[in-house]
Amino acid sequence: MNARLWTRRHALAAAALLPLCANAASGPQRVLVPVDVRQDFERFLAGRDPLQLQQYGGPHARRDVAELVLLLQALALGGITERPERVAMPSVARLVRELAQAQGVCSGTTYWKEDVPSPEDFLFSRTMVADGEFVAGLYTRPARADVLAVQSLDELRRLRFVSNRHWRVDWATLLGLGIERLAHADTWEAMPRMLAAGRADVVLAPFQPTPDLALDVDGVRLVPIPGLKLGLRGTRHYLVSRRHPEGAAWLAALDKGLQQLQAQGAVLRAYQQSGFHHPAVAGWKRI
């Protein structure tokens, strides 16, 4: 076994024997997770212990799922031994609002720092995605040969996009590119349905770890426009509730664990195996 993986595995096991880094305080010890991520996370685990995982690819793997695994591993490495409750949130706006009101300790996945409407209500983890690292695919239906043939920004501007206006980085990027036909959807799950219903042509999504980079959301299959990828500017972090009694202690534990995972290469491996940093698109044109 690789010595580095052996060391991390035993460090995670030892963390379960350590005392809590802070006494239990009032308020729910909850990690808030978008409902679709929670569903895919459970499917991805298939009964496995997330603290023991060394590989982050496979069925139902994607960036958000890998980030939830990394969060739980980092908290354990940092000394948080009580496993938090993973609570599903119906929308990102609801998740952020609940965290701001201390109805949870932290988010289960990362968010753009620029997207947070009231940054004074939050503590931000170590940077998980640095500025300029995030590239997204331009996903459409496999039957849309006309969309899949697009190869230029001028052609993209004629298409109908769907996003969420609360995702400020995505929304501003699309508007900045001159995308005028831009529809809003409240939830991620609604976006593929809009494409399936013919109400939109394209949605942004991270590249997937599948052989053809395809994405399946509730039975709707999407594939990326080949040869094109969209760069998004900004940094991504886990959000920690500033008002929660355990917020500061959890941030310290989280950052300590993330530092170890980053040093061991686990974060990079997770992003690669989940398809987020996909070698197949390295040579694609960045818009």
Tens-level pLDDT at each residue, the chain (287 residues) = 454 544 555 555 544 444 333 333 444 499 999 999 999 999 999 999 999 999 999 999 999 999 999 999 999 999 998 999 999 999 988 999 999 999 999 999 999 999 898 999 999 999 999 998 999 999 999 999 999 999 999 999 999 999 999 899 999 999 999 999 999 999 999 999 999 999 999 999 999 888 899 999 999 999 999 999 999 999 999 999 999 999 999 999 999 999 999 999 999 999 999 999 999 999 999 99
Characterize the bridge pairing of strands 228-232 and 285-286: parallel
| Residue 254, token pair as written in the block | 């989280």
What global pTM score does this model have?
0.81
Q: How far is CA 238 from CA 105, 128, 183, 188, 233, in A?
A: 11, 8, 27, 19, 17
What is the CATH number that goes with domain 3-131+234-286? 3.40.190.10
Which part of the chain is CATH 3.40.190.10?
A: 3-131+234-286, 134-232
Of 206, 209, 203, 202, the residue nearest 280 (C-alpha): 209
Residue 232 and residue 229: Cα distance in Å, rounded? 10
To which CATH superfamily is domain 134-232 assigned? Periplasmic binding protein-like II (3.40.190.10)
